[in-house]
Chains A and B, each alone.
Chain A
Amino acid sequence: MTVVAPQMAVARHKRRRGFGREMSAGWFAFFMNVPTLLFLVLVLAWPVIYAGYLSVHRVGLAQLRRGEFPFTGWENYGRVLEDPLFWTALQNTVIFTAVTVSTEVVLAVMIALLINQTGVWTSRLTRLLILLPYAIPPIANGLIWAFMYSFQFGFLNRILFTLGLTQDPVNWAGNPETALFAVTVPYIWRTLPFAIILVHAALQGIPRELYEQAAVDGARAWRRFWHVTLPLLRPVIAVILILRTAFAFAVFEEILAITQGGPGDATWVAAWYSYKITFSPPNNFGMGSASAFILALMIGVMALVYLRAVYRRVTL
């Protein structure tokens, strides 16, 4: 680069005379980023700030019509934090997230190892199909599983009957004890391909020599996995843990389609809480913003962890 520099300086000099001044790198970068900056500010940063503003004001339908939002201080947060339903929703969210994320990490590593077996024809078949769930709209996925889980007409119970595994239908999503776990399965089904693809990409980046060396040293398959593969997968597992935790915290579509929070409050989750408080009567936008803001703060912490852990090389 240093070698080319003098020539470039000459070229730039000539061009300036021929075609008029070219803008400096700084201005060029600025103009190239104007649309992105506008969108980031108008559709992301500003709404988040405005949500913070709404969360400390009284905002209901009446206030919306008048266009005046009286300041209430921390009242909305107080009401949210005093609402037992909010704590139920938060607890359900934590359980939902813990179950989906831990299951996904384990399954992703196992299935990625499985589709990495180049000599096995069924593994090649699995690799072809692995991305299919990524193509399914979340809301359609939810409805499909609602059909699978249906107590009376459900597809899962029909399978169990046909195989002779049960005499009585199972109420998968209608039982408060099992409903939360029932909604984890569709979510895992839909989001697992992403995790598998990340692990698989990382597996392909592991040099073969490491395995050959380990084999020469007499390490068996399990030890090779434990001492060679797993340590090298640690960064990608960290990525999956953070990303999937953050997104599972805001799960919405599957809850809407399968249980709508029910039975009772068994599957109320954080995003569902904010949605219902805000967009169903009595439409308390202030409280909805406060609860959504609490959710955003928790996810924001995960984002910062991700930034420090994964994108510390963000200097490129």
Chain B
Amino acid sequence: MFATSRTARLLLHVANATVILFILLPLVAVFVGSIQSEKALQADTRRLLPLEFTLDNFTVILSKGEQKGRIFEQVTYLPDNIKHFYTAFLNSAIVAVSVTFLTLLFGSLSAYTIAHLRFRWTLFLMQANVVARFVPVIVLMIPLYIVMRSLGQLNTLSGVIIAETGFLLPYAILILAPYFDSIPRELEEAARIDGCTRLRAFVFVILPLSTPALAACGVIMFIISWHELLIPLILNARPDVMTLPVVIASLVGDVHVFFNLMMAICLLALAPTVILVALLQKYIVEGLSAGAVKG
């Protein structure tokens, strides 16, 4: 749509290079930071790339602090949370998978009825979901903390899963509803003429057709849940129920942890969602725009 003169093309290339550099800059930083030693980072504070690289940061995290390697040889203190990497990773995975499953299950039941059976109250439910999406987590956390505390449900994974499912369900419905709406009513009607109940028509006719939307919604739910910090941070304080973001947050302000180790654990924590985004980009793009602009 713009003129394709040589100067215009050159300007476009320059603009693209700038954007790409901006996107990659923090990723280069986390990578470069994670493969060098504390000594190298501290010895020369002006050097961009160190003289030698090491994988010791990853080794010490992945061996639960047992294999200290050369750079941690003399270190007597390692934060306990670093040693709980596998537990935290597993907890994050359990929470994210459960939340994805539950939001998809309940979200699709709800979004389907909102899209296909228009009652006044289902439309109101849709509007409630739009408003609910805006509720900031910090407002929910204070009452949820008090309730979970009085129920003795602090420090459980199920508490986190329930809270996150409730928090994300409205968003899942906003993503799914426009998709169900785009499926022709005739399909459902045909199935019902053949003797299907409404539920069977939904499960065996509509759902199989909706796999792209379920994939889009599911991957977004997984990513948000994998990233969620405030809910598990406030509900879970014991190391055995911490999720990865909570472990990472616990390193903030720990004077004994230096950037190399922090960057290594950040890199390990961001890897799963980066892989997901790389593989399922198309679905995420569709889901994000469906959840925001389609009514």
- State the A residues within 8 Å of B (CB): 1, 4, 7-8, 11-12, 15, 18-19, 22-23, 25-26, 28-29, 32-33, 35-37, 39-40, 42-44, 46-48, 50-51, 54, 59, 64, 67, 110-111, 114, 116-117, 119-120, 122-123, 125-126, 128-141, 143-148, 150, 152-153, 155, 157-159, 161-162, 169, 186, 189, 194, 197-198, 201-202, 211, 221, 224, 235-236, 239, 243, 246, 249-250, 252-253, 256-257, 260, 271, 274-275, 278-279, 285, 288-289, 292-293, 295-296, 299-300, 302-304, 306-307, 310-316
Given the interface pairs A1-B185, A39-B106, A131-B284, the reply to whether A288 lies near B142 with Cβ below 8 Å is: yes
In the docked arrangement, what's the CA distance between A8 and B189, Å? 8
In the complex, the answer to whether B15 meets A32 with C-beta atoms within 8 Å is no
- Confirm or deny: B82 has a beta carbon within 8 angstroms of a beta carbon on chain A: no
Closest to B24 in A: A129
Sample (18) of A-B pairs whose CB atoms are under 8 Å apart: A8-B189, A36-B109, A36-B169, A39-B162, A43-B166, A44-B166, A47-B147, A114-B16, A126-B19, A128-B281, A143-B251, A143-B266, A144-B30, A197-B285, A246-B134, A252-B230, A307-B127, A316-B295
Residues of A within 8 A of B145 (CB): 279
Closest to A169 in B: B45
Residues of B within 8 A of A197 (CB): 285, 288-289
The B contact surface, by secondary structure, is: helix
In the docked arrangement, what's the CA distance between A26 and B113, Å? 10
- Confirm or deny: B74 has a beta carbon within 8 angstroms of a beta carbon on chain A: no
Residues of B within 8 A of A64 (CB): 146, 149
In the complex, the answer to whether B266 meets A140 with C-beta atoms within 8 Å is yes
Closest to B140 in A: A47
Kindly identify which residue among B149, B166, B192 contacts A39, using a CB–CB cutoff of 8 Å. Answer: B166
Residues of B within 8 A of A315 (CB): 118, 123, 295
In the complex, the answer to whether B269 meets A158 with C-beta atoms within 8 Å is no
In the complex, the answer to whether A132 meets B23 with C-beta atoms within 8 Å is yes
Closest to A297 in B: B139
Kindly identify which residue among B19, B27, B163 contacts A43, using a CB–CB cutoff of 8 Å. Answer: B163
In the complex, the answer to whether B29 meets A130 with C-beta atoms within 8 Å is no
Closest to A114 in B: B15
Residues of B within 8 A of A153 (CB): 41-42, 45, 259
Closest to B194 in A: A11
* Count of chain B residues with a beta carbon within 8 Å of a chain A beta carbon: 117
In the complex, the answer to whether B245 meets A8 with C-beta atoms within 8 Å is no
In the docked arrangement, what's the CA distance between A224 and B1, Å? 9
Residues of B within 8 A of A144 (CB): 26, 29-30, 33, 263, 266
In the complex, the answer to whether A155 meets B138 with C-beta atoms within 8 Å is no
Of the 9-residue stretches B65-73, B208-216, B221-229, which lies at the interface with chain A?
A: B221-229
Given the interface pairs A8-B189, A144-B26, A147-B30, the reply to whether A122 lies near B13 with Cβ below 8 Å is: yes
- Confirm or deny: B119 has a beta carbon within 8 angstroms of a beta carbon on chain A: yes
In the complex, the answer to whether A201 meets B285 with C-beta atoms within 8 Å is yes
Of the 9-residue stretches B51-59, B83-91, B271-279, which lies at the interface with chain A?
A: B271-279
Residues of B within 8 A of A141 (CB): 26
A-B interface pairs (CB < 8 A), number: 343
Kindly identify which residue among A131, A155, A249 contacts B285, using a CB–CB cutoff of 8 Å. Answer: A131
Kindly identify which residue among A39, A293, A299, A306 contacts B130, using a CB–CB cutoff of 8 Å. Answer: A306
- Confirm or deny: B4 has a beta carbon within 8 angstroms of a beta carbon on chain A: yes
In the complex, the answer to whether B125 meets A33 with C-beta atoms within 8 Å is yes
Residues of A within 8 A of B131 (CB): 300, 303-304, 307
In the complex, the answer to whether A47 meets B144 with C-beta atoms within 8 Å is yes
- Confirm or deny: B152 has a beta carbon within 8 angstroms of a beta carbon on chain A: no
Residues of A within 8 A of B177 (CB): 316
* 19 other A-B residue contacts (CB within 8 Å) besides A42-B166, A122-B16: A7-B193, A22-B198, A25-B198, A28-B113, A35-B105, A47-B139, A47-B143, A122-B13, A129-B24, A150-B259, A157-B46, A162-B47, A198-B289, A253-B229, A274-B142, A285-B142, A307-B131, A314-B126, A316-B123
Residues of A within 8 A of B234 (CB): 279
Given the interface pairs A43-B167, A139-B249, the reply to whether A130 lies near B109 with Cβ below 8 Å is: no
Kindly identify which residue among A8, A33, A50 contacts B193, using a CB–CB cutoff of 8 Å. Answer: A8
Residues of B within 8 A of A303 (CB): 130-131, 133-134
Kindly identify which residue among A36, A221, A295 contacts B125, using a CB–CB cutoff of 8 Å. Answer: A36
In the complex, the answer to whether A137 meets B130 with C-beta atoms within 8 Å is no
Kindly identify which residue among A120, A155, A236 contacts B13, using a CB–CB cutoff of 8 Å. Answer: A120
In the complex, the answer to whether B109 meets A40 with C-beta atoms within 8 Å is no
Closest to A203 in B: B1
What's the least CB distance linking A67 to chain B, in Å?
A: 7
In the complex, the answer to whether B20 meets A129 with C-beta atoms within 8 Å is yes
